[in-house]
Chains A and B, each alone.
Chain A
């Protein structure tokens, strides 16, 4: 287990692969591109590997903040909610989107704020001799 935790080399390789996969997606800024399923799948699989190494490197003392911050970032689902809320064409879809925007916002603001509050409490020993 310790081998994995400190395996920065593997992390670097995974990150590198992820960047490579994403190069597939767009090479010219501003040019419209179409993303195919395989590119998306590649990102997903490589991100799972990145997640594996990154999460093993998290210190157990911070597992609660880890849960609250993963909670906050999984609310990136707000992207889908915003698209639905902004789109014309279906009133019910729009209202579902707006409700999802509100729910995800609770999570985004609440999640990051409570994580920040917790992390601010972790302090090192004050050195008396200093």
Chain B
């Protein structure tokens, strides 16, 4: 068994405390009331980890006192200054971005942040490879410990996949790249071959500690991260972004193994399981297997499906009709979707709800787990528009209430309301849990035009029902007009 450099116990305990702070930070998110305290605990945990590391590893150079005593605690200020500058640059970029970012752009931001974690893992792994003695992972002969080689190789590989995958996810979410799946011929075979090659070079690196194996491993991992994400369509982004979240955690955990650092390992395990659970929730909410999402291609047939849409009669309403119907109602349930986010209609929507409440109407919001482009996206947008969180309900909590609602107001959502998911076995979304909006007395459906279909590429028979009224306009404009009509 190998031995690693001894570390003072207080350092280990400090890292442990930092890890516990991170656990409590996530624990705080069990309710909005405790969440802010949790976030502060997370910051404290991070501060403990950073300060501890700086105390133990501060750049030093051996100095000599006037009496000839050799001391080793002499801070090397030049190096310390460089580190401080690096932190300050990062902090400035991070703080400015976090202040300026629009809430609708959160999915992109999170993808970008994931890519940074991935890149940092690659850089740390490479630094450890180039200077292993600084990390205390060399044996007496000066070569890197076998276990550390595996940990380091895995950390770099997962980090690289996280990085390139997140960059592609960012480009797709930010609209720099089409959300349509890009399907390479024989992509499954290419991916399989790349995966096998990664394991081959990982073993080669373990066996020989050869730099060629190490860098090839890193390069291949960058490539496969890219290949894995390009075939995945826009609608599957909630799963992808959760999955990359998970990967960034496993990368941190692998580096934690290399450094024998409990804070990193605890964090990596937390983040890894968090991302995995979110991916699972998202897959379940779409009734798709994780494998089928990763295999990609979903939504690729959307255009051909749309072309077949037949002209069927539907009822079209005006903003005044909608205002009248909702004013008369006792209970209105609003179903927001990604279209609301695109149109930035959340603020005016809240104004509409306020006016309705003044008329004595009970207003609630129903959120499908995959509404939006990342888990919980709609909740944040509604919170931004000052919608109280106790008026916002999850699918299973509110679905039975549609039967007692007078109006279901669907804005920017489509597939998550499609009754075909319950009845039509041939539909690609069959089996997906959907909001039972058709059970409301009237369904008001805000949609840009009749032509477009949802991301799954299926027509929604809800549009043609007798109790559905289509409000065809830009979501924001339509709600603005309804507000005018109500006021």
- Residues of A whose CB lies within 8 Å of any CB of B are 15, 18, 22, 25-37, 40, 43-44, 47-48, 50-52, 54-90, 92-94, 96-126
Contact = CB atoms under 8 A, between A and B. Distances in A.
Interface of B: 1-10, 12-13, 15-16, 18-19, 22-23, 25-27, 29-32, 35-36, 38-39, 42-43, 45-46, 49-50, 53-54, 57-59, 61, 79-80, 82-83, 86-91, 93-95, 97-99, 101, 103, 106, 109-110, 113-114, 116-117, 119-121, 123-124, 126-128, 130-131, 133-135, 147, 241-242, 245, 248-249, 251-253, 255-275, 277-278, 281, 367, 369, 374-377, 379-380, 383-384, 386, 388-392, 394
21 contacts: A22-B16, A33-B8, A40-B260, A48-B269, A51-B273, A60-B281, A66-B375, A67-B241, A70-B245, A70-B274, A73-B270, A73-B271, A76-B267, A81-B120, A84-B134, A86-B79, A93-B126, A104-B90, A120-B36, A123-B386, A125-B390
Contacts of B79: 85-86, 94
Given A74-B271, A118-B106, 18 more contacts: A35-B260, A37-B147, A40-B260, A47-B269, A47-B270, A51-B269, A61-B389, A62-B29, A63-B374, A70-B26, A77-B120, A84-B123, A86-B57, A87-B59, A97-B124, A107-B117, A110-B97, A122-B389
B42 A66 contact: no
B72 to A, nearest CB: 12
Contact of A80 (B2, B43, B86, B128): B128
B380 A121 contact: yes
B9 A32 contact: yes
B98 A110 contact: yes
B42 A55 contact: no
Contacts of A78: 49-50, 53, 120
Contact of B375 (A32, A34, A60, A111): A60
A76 B46 contact: yes
B106 A68 contact: yes
A82 to B, nearest CB: 5
Contacts of B6: 32-34
B168 to A, nearest CB: 17
Contact of B86 (A33, A92, A102): A102
A56 B384 CA distance: 24
B7 A66 contact: no
Given A29-B9, A54-B26, A70-B275, A119 B116 contact: no
A76 B42 CA distance: 10
Given A22-B262, A89-B131, A113 B272 contact: no
A21 to B, nearest CB: 9
B19 to A, nearest CB: 7
A100 B26 CA distance: 25
Contact of A97 (B49, B127, B241): B127
B269 A65 contact: no
A124 B116 contact: no
A86 to B, nearest CB: 4
A35 B376 CA distance: 40
Contact of A122 (B273, B375, B383): B383
Nearest to A45: B269
Contacts of B38: 69
A26 B17 CA distance: 13
Contacts of B253: 44
Contacts of B59: 86-88
Contacts of A61: 32, 367, 376, 379, 389, 392, 394
Leading 4 A-B pairs by shortest Cβ distance: A105-B90, A110-B94, A63-B376, A87-B134
Contacts of A15: 23
Contacts of B45: 73, 76
